[in-house]
Amino acid sequence: MRRVAKIVTSLCLAGVFFLSVNTFPLLAAEKIRIGITQILDHPALNAVRDGFIDAMAEAGYVEGKNVVYDVQNAQGDMATASTIAHKFVSENVDLILSIATPTSQAAVRATDKIPIVFSAVTDPVGAGLVKSLECSGNNVTGISDLTPVERQIELIKAIVPKAKAVGTIYNAAEANSVLTNELAKKACKRLGLKLEEATVSSTADVFLAAQSLVGKCDAIYVSTDNTTVSALDAVIQVTTKNKIPLVLADPTTVNKGALLALGFNYYAHGRETAPIVIKILNGTKPSDIPVRFAKELELWVNLDTAEKIGFSSSFLLDACKEFANKLRKEGVKVDIKTIEGK
Amino acid sequence: MLLSFVLHSLEEGFLFAILALGVYITFRVLNFPDLTVDGSYPLGAAVAAVLIVRGMNPFSALLFSALAGGLAGLLTAFLHTKLKITPLLAGILTMIALYSINLRIMGRPNISLSEYLGHRTVITILREVNLPIRSEYFIPLIFFVIVMVLKELVDLFLHTEIGLTIRATGDNEQMIRAEGVNTDTAKLIGLSLSNALVALSGGLFAQYQGFADVGMGIGMIIAGLASVIVGQSLVRGRTVELMTLGAIVGAIVYRLAIAMALKWGYNFGFRPTDLKLLTALLVITILSFPYLRAKVKRLEES
């Protein structure tokens, strides 16, 4: 019995020791404490987080030195997103960085005092995060990841001038995708194109959805839909076999075999969040910082895919250069990058 | 500071306890593994959110959440009793159908109930109540009362004649069929009551977190089952009163385990990706505690 008591006591002591050692840095008052809440592990969302932390470090806010990050991930469970938000509030962190819509909504619900900076949210007004894009009217501001849908549809028209219909695949349960799809519909209408929609509810449906578009469209457009992007290989199998140009909003996956991508990468998106956070740490009120949109675009041209689907490389490059010049005249920063054919 | 975190975790636990009561009715009483839950929970949230956005009182909206959930349960029961589809498949079919139905009801995948958009929820109303105690303590208290009232109602119901029929159907269907009792009716009532509770929990949670999202239901049946089973091993006893109490305790313990994992887990070298593993470890620890305590006791005696 004595031995058992001894073991129990020492275990308790060890527990107390670990707790005190590990929570001590969090208690150090001179360090800035930032809570990062993310809805799930997703390459784009992880890139936002990494981009933010890297850009902060370059600006002099080094993790462990003068800033402490409490990185939390709800692993897809929305109730847990709420628990995480309350955890940050109960610890009175200096600032909350919320990545994606549900985590941002949970954070906004949990506090009206601690500054919240959101990122990777497409429609901040519709999600109830801010009153308007110009002035939130509360403790919240951030950066929208609305992809330039109109430009992407214009790009399709530029490379396939004779196109009559554009196909698209998206998950109707993703708030962001529903919004980008509405924008795509509008842009298509303006350019005299028909938008052929195929909806999916999981990655398993994507292959069939892509198949269903064959013969109905002259190009396929995939926006920032998480489900479709996760199963992009299935789309590429179909577009390569049927020689259909595939245009993406996500530049990081174009090398898998899409023809073009026009958008921004999420690492850069995360980096663009850092200056907003620094402004707030220096005393600016979140309501005085308007919500921003991505300012720097990348146009990726995959000549390897062009070869595979029998698309003239020289025509493609010329059309893209001309398109980029048009955008630059309108004040958009565009960087053309090419993937060479083998 | 820690207190406010514990209180918020308790609030979440109470809301999940309503779901656990529903799961208890199908899983334990009716002996019917009902997967409708993953669809009826977001259904309750969707109905409440849409009605609130249209201007309905948030309390009345909850009634409609429960009603919609009851209908979902009826559908599963209908598929099973009338069309002779097995319980698991009947639940799955209703669940996947509800996915599209929820999207139809909401019209989009995510509806915000934010005050910035001028929406009022149960929480905003409770916060405005003028009381000597702060809303921080008042809201969990109200949630606790709601859960206990629902528990009392479920207990009472299971002691009525219909309730006894439902229990008997779960215990030995063949036998009571031989007595001339209609077990189909028992299943219809049991499943609709269960899913009404689940949807009520979803409707309340949407108001609590300030938004309804069509993805809210993912994993809810697992959370519900875990709560019921954890509760059963913590609150021993076979009476209805103790078993409903067990479901409530289980839901609270399950939410507290997640909260603990989030709060302290990463101090011990775990990473955010380990959250579910950590939750599992904590629940295992809690479950094995009575056994270990008994073992220590035996060691003491020897």
- Mean pLDDT is lowest, of A104-108, A269-273, A292-296, A310-314, for A292-296
Of the candidates B114, B112, B111, B70, the residue with the CA atom closest to the CA atom of residue B94: B70
Angle between helices B37-53 and B2-24 in degrees, nearest 10: 120
Contact yes or no for A83 and B262 at CB 8 A: yes
- Tell me, what's the pLDDT at B24? 96
- Cβ–Cβ < 8 Å for A168, A135: no
| Residue in the block written with tokens 């909850």 | B62
What is the 8-class DSSP label of residue A251? G
Q: Determine the pLDDT at residue A17.
A: 46
What is the rounded distance in angstroms from the CA atom of residue A45 to the CA atom of residue B126? 35
The sheet with strand A333-339 has its strands ordered as A194-200, A165-171, A219-222, A246-248, A260-263, A296-302, A333-339
List pLDDT tens digits, range A44-62: 899 999 999 999 999 999 9
- Whether the pLDDT of residue A32 is over 50: the answer is yes
**Looking at residue A19, what is its pLDDT?**
47
Q: What pLDDT, on the 0 to 100 scale, is given for residue A18?
A: 46
What would the two tokens of residue B47 be?
Answer: 């109905």
Residue B268, pLDDT score: 79
Q: Could you give the CA distance from residue A77 to residue B59 in angstroms, rounded to a whole number?
A: 25
Given a cut of 50, is residue A1 above it in pLDDT? no
The pLDDT-based confidence of A20 (bands split at 50, 70, 90) is very low
**Nearest alpha-carbon partner for B74 in B186, B201, B220, B189:** B189
Chain A residues lying within 8 Å of B9, measured CB to CB: 83, 86
Predicted confidence at residue B286, as pLDDT, reads 82
A76-80, A253-257, B164-168: range with highest mean pLDDT: B164-168
Residue A79 reports pLDDT greater than 60: yes
pLDDT (tens digit per residue) in A136-161: 889 999 999 999 999 999 999 999 99
Does any CB of chain B come closer than 8 Å to the CB of residue A130?
yes
Residues B101-124 as b or e (16 or more Cβ within 10 Å = b): bbbebbebbbbbbbbbeebbbbbe
Higher pLDDT, B132 or A134: A134
Distance CA B289, CA A334 (A): 61
Which CATH architecture group holds A149-263+296-339? 3-Layer(aba) Sandwich (3.40)
Check if B107 contacts A (Cβ < 8 Å): no
Question: Could A175 and B108 be called an inter-chain contact, meaning their C-beta atoms sit closer than 8 Å?
Answer: yes
Q: Do A127 and B211 touch (CB under 8 A)?
A: yes
Q: What does the pLDDT read at residue A29?
A: 54
In the prediction, which pLDDT does B190 show?
Answer: 97
Average pLDDT over residues A112-119: 96
Residues 6+ apart with CB under 8 A from A249: A147, A148, A149, A152, A180, A222, A223, A224, A261, A262, A263
Residue ranges for chain B with pLDDT beneath 70: 1
* B272 interaction partners in chain A (CB closer than 8 Å): 38, 71-73, 75
| Higher local confidence (pLDDT), A325 or B288 | A325
User: H or E segment at A198?
Assistant: strand A194-200
Contact A207, A231 (CB under 8 A): yes
Q: Which helix (H) or strand (E) holds A168?
A: strand A165-171
pLDDT mean over A237-249: 95
For chain B, domains (ranges, CATH) are 2-301 (1.10.3470)
Question: In a 3-state reduction of DSSP, which class is residue B299?
Answer: helix
Residues of B whose CB is below 8 A from A81: 209
Average pLDDT over every residue of A242-264: 93
Average pLDDT over residues A97-120: 95
Mutate to test the interface with A, among B218, B263, B282 (most CBs of A within 10 A): B263
Asked if the model's pLDDT at residue A129 lies above 70, the reply is: yes
Q: How confident is the model at residue A5 (pLDDT cuts 50, 70, 90)?
A: low
Q: Where are the domains of chain A?
A: 27-145+268-293, 149-263+296-339
The pLDDT of A152-177, averaged and rounded, is 94
pLDDT value, residue A226:
85
DSSP string, A43-93: HHHHHHHHHHHHHHHHTT--BTTTEEEEEEE-TT-HHHHHHHHHHHHHTT-
User: How far apart are the C-alpha atoms of B190 and A114, rounded to whole Å?
Assistant: 45
User: A27-145+268-293 belongs to which homologous superfamily?
Assistant: Response regulator (3.40.50.2300)
Domains A27-145+268-293 and A149-263+296-339 share a fold: yes
* Residue B10 pLDDT: 94
* Residue A152 structure tokens: 């992407």
* Of the candidate ranges A84-93, A290-299, B48-57, the one whose mean pLDDT is the lowest: A290-299
CA B274 to chain centre: 25
CB distance B194 to B23 below 8 Å? yes
The CA-atom distances, in angstroms, between B73 and each of B42, B78, B87, B284 are: 14, 9, 12, 32
Contacts of B216 in chain A (CB under 8 A): 78
Task: Identify the closest residue of chain A to B300 by CA–CA distance.
Answer: A1
What local confidence, expressed as pLDDT, does residue A284 receive? 95
pLDDT for position B274: 86
A-chain residues within 8 Å CB-CB of B211? 102, 105, 109, 127-128
Pairing of strands A32-38, A116-121: unpaired
Chain B residue whose CA is closest to A172: B109
